[in-house]
Structure 1
């Protein structure tokens, strides 16, 4: 293995580890603690949902400003700082005793975990691997299903054995003793940009220049994409954060839900790898019309199922969309808008994803508090997903073939919003 290949492998491993570490700020992990947190702090479903929504919205707003840090040269130290901040937040969760403190800590989990760690990992892959972007993103995105496969069941078992606060201390230890040293080692030699030998791929010219964030905000197609882009985080967050209410309504055990999450993770892995090859061959935009349909099927299955054996079926449908989305949107922004300002552009897009995931807990928790059944809400989520899929089919036709979209040069101004 030559030095270029070894370096590329180190960078992929670093991205994978960042994606895995983001699990501690993801809904599926936090959701396993919801019942215990609500009981200890005296919160209703709507009360916890409101705090979760507020913290996540604050994270989304801040991410719009901080997204550009992924364009910095020294991502090694930026990534390390984010890992330390996330570790401090998990330590805080182990001792939280008041609603106001929980709000701050939920913000930290969502901002450093779900927000910055994922943003840094995916932006780096989009810039460092211009001719195999889809495959690189797919490999790094395997960190997500790894966490999804391992953590829910281990967390439920750990809470039963040691208590929920101890599990947060274990998470802090993993971040400081495993993730932090590994990131510093793997990114010791950081690239400016990886340019493999041989002919450039069809989207390589995008690395030479790219849209600024202000130019993207003037592009109607960016906003036309949003209903479909925001559907997975909104729907999946709604499902995972409501798992306690869902299993209670169905008469199931929470452990059954946790045990079915590895199915979701396994399907996510398989779909992510396949999507990486497809995206590199066809381009991300050509996959847009299809990836949401399994998510609609998942929401309907959760809503209508009466038998617990259908849980893995619903999880498998959700995994098909999650795997496609992980790879698809890791590559789409670089394909459409280039890589010169990819951190700023992707930060804008990621803040939208975080915002969508913020809305679901508050909306669903509030609607359940006023009497709506979880099954009814899941049917509504399926309907929204089908609408978003139809929107994506229309937008994909307007985006056309591969290559970076033409920049609105006449509209740009000096120093225009990175």
Structure 2
């Protein structure tokens, strides 16, 4: 344990600039993530007189549009340094935080949600994961386990903070205006300063061989690869399920009689477990490779979904968040390290943009489909049981995909 802590502290010290840049990009992506938008969900529905299904459909449309845009915008990371991409992504995200308080009608709200999703969940995480994947080789898993908790930090702090700000000010606009100010005054100058110095990957960062990296596939080749779709079938399950629960947290609290603060207070539980299991997964990825872990990564998600479906008492929220944190810790770290092992690094920005777009698509379909089913009288707990079944089938798909990639690597 002492050696493990020493190695990690030395790694963080030697690479603090780049790890901090990735962590902050993930942290400030929170303002376009569903958990942050969902805290204002009831206020938005009341302001624009939207039903659960109507708001879900609007959110789905905005997120689908952002998913369709992301593969094209993400190509910018293969054409210019990441800091130049961040230089325009952060101000646009800040602008969207202001616009959500000014939107005069539902159409304008839809455009604002599109910008939040594209430049928050989409581009901010895309920049962080792509640049970190290029900066690190032998320690790619460890690096991913350090930057991905940025989202967990946001998840653990921001929902509670927003609830408290709303209660103190009596106006849900205040939290969004504060987010815009933080992005421009803190995030933009700090992240640009950190990213202006490029890191050259060192194959022997830890004195051991770098993990396997596949030949460099083109985006066209990836889109024709059947294995790619098997991987996506499994890896989009966590964002689909997590987003659905977060988006309808107001519905769930009303259905089961929870207080808003009780639900918001469960987010730190998820954040702590996400960080802890992210570090654990980072070490496992560096030791065994991402492919060997694939068949097991959805087990915690399956259990989390069953807990949310079957436990009606308020403590069930904390069980769900705990297990969701385990799942997020594994999947976020593993996803950062997986794609170089499967498709190489030369076109990593464009390939990862397709992956992120697929995951954004999942976060769009979740609220949209679930909202319509709720309007039809099929409650969220019943829907979650079907989602748990999806996780079981998806685990089998991931096992098949992992074997196929290993066989392909052995032939090359």
TM-score norm. by structure 2 comes to: 0.93
Tell me what 2:189 maps to.
181
Unpaired stretches in structure 1, ≥5 consecutive residues? 407-418
Structure 2 equivalent of residue 261 of structure 1: 267
Contact preservation (8 Å) 2:39, 2:163 = yes
Q: After superposing the two structures, state which structure 1 stretch, 240-249 or 325-334, moved more.
A: 240-249
Select between 384-393 and 117-126 the one with higher mean Cα deviation.
384-393
CA–CA distance in 2 between the matches of 1:175 and 1:130? 30
Contact 1:131 1:204 in 2 (8 A): no
- RMSD across aligned positions (CA): 2.0
Q: Does the 8 Å CA contact 1:25/1:110 hold for their aligned counterparts?
A: yes
Among candidates 366, 370, 380, match of residue 372 of structure 2: 366
Q: How does 1:17-416 map to 2 (within 5 A)?
A: 17-162=24-169, 163-191=171-199, 193-194=201-202, 201-203=209-211, 206=214, 210-400=216-406, 406=412
SS in 1 for 2:236: helix
Instruction: Please report how far the alpha carbon of residue 192 of structure 1 lies from its aligned counterpart in structure 2 after TM superposition.
Output: 5.5
TM-score by length of 1: 0.92
Looking at structure 2, the residues matched to 333 and 80 of structure 1 have their Cα atoms a distance apart, in angstroms, of 25
What count of residue pairs does the alignment treat as equivalent? 402
The secondary structure found in structure 2 opposite 1:252 is coil
Identify if the C-alpha distance between structure 1 residues 140 and 5 changes in structure 2 by more than 3 Å, giving closer, same or farther: closer
Comparing 292-301 with 327-336, which one deviates more in the overlay? 292-301
1:204, distance to aligned residue in structure 2 (A): 6.2
- 1:174 shift after superposition: 0.6
> What's the secondary structure of 1:288's corresponding residue?
helix
Moved more, 117-126 or 154-163: 154-163
Q: CA distance change for structure 1 residues 68 and 223 in 2, over 3 Å: closer, same or farther?
A: same
Mapped to 1, the partners of 2:87 and 2:193 lie a distance apart of 11
Between the aligned partners of 2:386 and 2:153, the Cα distance in structure 1 is: 30
What residue is the counterpart of 2:5 in the other structure?
none
Comparing 150-159 with 379-388, which one deviates more in the overlay?
379-388
Q: Give ranges in structure 2 of 5+ residues lacking alignment.
A: 1-10
CA contact (8 A) 1:292 1:385 kept: yes
